[in-house]
Amino acid sequence: MTFNVLVVDDEKNIRTGLGKAMELDGYATFEAEDGQEALEIIEREEIDLVLADLRMPRVSGQELLTRVVDSFPTIPVIILTGHGTIETAVQAMRDGAFDFLTKPVNLDRLSLLAKRALSTRELVLQHRALQAELETHRQNQQIIGKSPEMQRILDVVRQVAPTKASVLITGESGVGKELVADALHHLSDRRDKPFVKVHCAALSESLLESELFGHEKGAFTGAIGRKRGRFELANTGTVFLDEIGEISPSVQIKILRVLQEKQFERVGGEATINVDVRIVAATNRDLRVEIERGTFREDLFYRLNVVNIQVPPLRERREDIPLLTAAFIREFSRENGKTVEGIDAKTRSLLFGYPWPGNIRELRNSIESAVVLAKGEILTVDDLPPSIHDGGEDRDVRIALGSTMADAEREIIRATLASVNGNKTKAAATLGIGRKTLHRKIAEYAIED
């Protein structure tokens, strides 16, 4: 990765001289003839280091320093001073300069100082990224689950995390795919490196492209400055591509190239950028169906799916429900200053038997609202959202002997629909069939809404 160094001096010779020296050290340089111009460049470009003269027209070096420290605190500023102005240099240090050099500048010293400033900046940025991540990690619970299904998943996670293999995590909405992706990163030796998540469905095709690969200044209307993409930011770390099933064919090709050649270009850019990233992707779609339909590239699928982790829906691992419930009760009691200590037997059996079409997310949300609404120390059925306890009284379907398979099917579909208030997506998920199949059967059996 090249660093961008901004040289600010009103004397053209000094400016270009220093710029050349920095270029020889492998940096990309920008030049500004005073603080005002410098600030404009800093707003526009991604500057990693500023070398600034003190006395300049319009905005002085002193003022530039103060503004950078205020608004771009991670950009180091090295102050250049003329002879006899050591006092101002000392003042500049107090004001937050990284260091200072006296003129005429000793280029070897400058070279060393620039290198030190830039590596310090990297550490600051890394630390910030880690702290931000730690915050989101605190909000996320660790993976909870003692069912054999979850234990098997945890085994696979532990086994593949330290490798560079791409992992495709599949499963219904709310089963914990993102949590698995988190674990893959945190159990790898990339754990101290960036972990960058991209929610592919949230962005339009062109936005996603520039988000992933970055763009050059002027690549499209609105691209006022150069921007690094997520793949570049994630270099040496992990990229999590969430909802990978939603991306367009043109972006699919580019991701394939990153997987195969570890290369890409920024949007509107010529230079090829090399990255070392581990890719983890997730989807709640069946990508094999998308391949049949021609909406997902088969070659990309195989590259992503080196290891597949299929997270089963909660209704197929009900043993996990009590533990999850307990964890969520503790979490939300603390968060809301409540003292909920447990749940009564009826509620427990209701939670255990409910089909959880929204999986763990639905359980978590239900417990959150129950805890917030709870009047006592024990959760009761009345505290749960109505969608869960409606029909909770009578969860059996009676099918008389002598019924046909068709009778039985009609009855289970009717009862399931009733239990989820006619929500066909939920009903289909509970029944373990596709929505289309459900619609066909509703028509076939003339089941009323």
Ligand X SMILES: Nc1ncnc2c1ncn2[C@@H]1O[C@H](COP(=O)(O)OP(=O)(O)OP(=O)(O)O)[C@@H](O)[C@H]1O
Residues forming contacts to ligand X in the complex (CB under 6 A) are: 140-141, 143-145, 171, 173-179, 284, 324, 360-361, 364
Largest CA distance in the chain: 106
Residues 127-156 that bind Mg ion (CB under 5 A): none
Mark the segment that binds Mg ion (CB under 5 A) among 54-62, 171-179, 205-213, 214-222.
171-179
Sequence-separated contacts (24+) of 253-258 with Cβ below 8 Å:
253/297, 253/300, 254/209, 254/212, 254/213, 255/212, 255/279, 255/300, 256/297, 256/299, 256/300, 256/303, 258/231
CA distance 233 to 126: 11
CA dist list (Å): 360 to 141, 179, 198, 237, 417: 11, 11, 21, 28, 21
Residue (of 361, 304, 320) closest to 169 by Cα position: 304
Query: CB of residue 195 vs Mg ion: minimum separation in angstroms?
Result: 14
Triad 258, 262, 266: Cα angle to 5°: 65
Q: Which of 48, 10, 45 is nearest to 26 (CA)?
A: 48
Helices 61-71, 86-94: axis angle to 10 degrees equals 10
Which residue, 42 or 180, has its beta carbon nearer to ligand X?
Answer: 180
**Residue 330 binds which entry of Mg ion, ligand X, none, with Cβ cut-offs from 5 to 8 Å by kind?**
none
Minimal distance, residue 331 CB to ligand X, in Å: 9
φ, ψ at 341 (rounded to 5°): -110, -10
Beta strands 227-228 and 214-215, pairing class: antiparallel
We find the least distance from the C-beta atom of residue 358 to Mg ion, in angstroms, to be 12
Shorter beta-carbon distance to ligand X: residue 300 or 324? 324
Which of ligand X, Mg ion, none does 315 bind, CB closer than 5 to 8 A by kind?
Answer: none
Beta bridge partners of 100: 79
Residue 321 Cβ, how far from ligand X at the closest point, in Å? Answer: 11
Q: How far is the CB of 324 from Mg ion (least distance, A)?
A: 17
Nearest distance from residue 90's CB to ligand X, in Å? 51
- Cα separation, 97 vs 127, in Å, equals 20
Residue 251: CB minimum distance to ligand X, A: 19
C-beta closer to ligand X: residue 324 or 388:
324
What residue number has its CB nearest to ligand X?
176
Q: Which CB sits closer to Mg ion, 178 or 368?
A: 178
- Tell which positions 252-281 bind Mg ion, by CB under 5 A: none
Rounded to whole angstroms, the Cα distance separating 183 from 343 reads 30
Q: In this structure, what is the dihedral angle of CA atoms 182, 183, 187, 191, given to the nearest 10 degrees? A: 10
Only one of the segments 99-107, 176-184, 206-214, 345-353 lies at the binding site for Mg ion (rule: CB under 5 A); that segment is: 176-184
284 touches, from ligand X, Mg ion, none (C-beta below 5 to 8 Å by class) = ligand X
364 binds, among Mg ion, ligand X, none (CB under 5 to 8 A by kind): ligand X
d(CA 18, CA 113): 13
Indicate the residue among 62 and 325 with the shorter CB distance to ligand X: 325
Return phi, psi of residue 32, to 5°.
Answer: -140, 145
**Which of 118, 84, 117, 116 minimizes the C-alpha distance to 103?**
84
- Please work out the total of residues on this chain that contact Mg ion, with binding judged by CB under 5 A: 1
Q: Which stretch binds Mg ion (CB under 5 A): 94-102, 117-125, 172-180, 222-230?
A: 172-180
Residue 376 falls in which region: left (phi positive, over 0), alpha (psi -120 to 50) or beta: beta
Q: Provide, rounded to whole angstroms, the least separation between the CB of residue 424 and ligand X.
A: 18
Residue corresponding to tokens 């000392």: 90
Of the pair 171, 214, the CB lying nearest ligand X is at 171
- Residue 267: DSSP 8-state: B
- Name which of 59 and 179 has its Cβ closer to ligand X: 179
Task: Give 142 or 159: the residue with its C-beta nearer to ligand X.
Answer: 142
4 near 121, Cβ under 8 Å?
A: no
Query: Of 2 and 310, which CB lies nearer to ligand X in the complex structure?
Result: 310
Q: Is residue 178 within the footprint of Mg ion (CB under 5 A)?
A: yes
Q: Among the candidate windows 24-32, 63-71, 109-117, 174-182, which touches Mg ion by CB under 5 A?
A: 174-182
Name which of 97 and 363 has its Cβ closer to ligand X.
363
Report in angstroms how near the CB of residue 398 gets to Mg ion at its nearest.
Answer: 38
| 51 vs 280 by CB, closer to ligand X | 280
- Minimal distance, residue 282 CB to ligand X, in Å: 6
Region binding Mg ion by CB under 5 A among candidate stretches 175-183, 214-222, 307-315, 390-398: 175-183
- To Mg ion, the closest distance from the beta carbon of 242 in angstroms equals 5
Return residues touching Mg ion (CB under 5 A).
178
